[in-house]
Amino acid sequence: MPPEKTTQKARSDSARASLLKAGRALFGRDGFISTAVNDISAAAGMSKSGLLHHFPSKAALFEAVFEEEEMRLVARVAAEAGGAPNARERMRQGARALLDALNDAMSRQIVLIDGPAVLGWAVWRRIEGDHGIALIEATLREAQAEGSLARLPGSAFSRMFLSALHEGAFSIIEDETQRPAVEIMLDQMIEGLFDRG
């Protein structure tokens, strides 16, 4: 690639990263509806037209922020659960790590509150499938390879388990004393899956 193209790409990548960072901060703090495009562009140090050059709309920027947040959450969960001795325990530790991560106000606003409402069901479901669901299904395949799960349960279980995690996070946000009960219910889902083989 010619040097001028490399420099132009680096500038474009840097501008995009600045917009994603500013978008996450403002969407996470104020929510999608209350965040203005002008505020995001100013926080990123560029004009509104500069923002619209990279993202055609506020919703398009939010989608990119949402997907980046999903990747961030999956990376955190994988890192925190990665040292567990087996897939069953990785699922247990991963569930707890996601509950912790969703206790962060910014992640909660982007992923749980605005994500489904702003993106719509089809886009939200696709992105969840590419990240959170993919991690659950990978862990289940690891369990099968280890011999602790005789057959895979299908994608319905992964979606139901992630939905239970999201609802559990909401319950804990509303009343943190619910955390032990939420963990027990999630453990029962995991144990029920493995017990059936």
pLDDT of amino acid 196: 60
Domains of the chain: 1-56 (1.10.10.60), 59-196 (1.10.357)
pLDDT of amino acid 144: 92
Q: Which residues contact 119 (CB under 8 A, 6 or more apart)?
A: 59, 62, 63, 66, 127
Per-residue pLDDT of the chain (197 residues; tens, 9 = 90+): 566 666 888 888 899 999 999 999 999 999 999 999 999 999 999 999 999 999 999 999 999 999 999 999 999 999 999 999 999 999 999 999 999 999 999 999 999 999 999 999 999 999 999 999 999 999 999 999 999 888 888 788 999 999 999 999 999 999 999 999 999 999 999 998 886 65
DSSP 104: S
| 8 Å CB contact between 87 and 140 | yes
Side chain identity, residue 145: A
Rounded to an integer, what distance in angstroms lies between the CA atom of residue 185 and that of residue 165? Answer: 10
Specify the pTM. 0.91
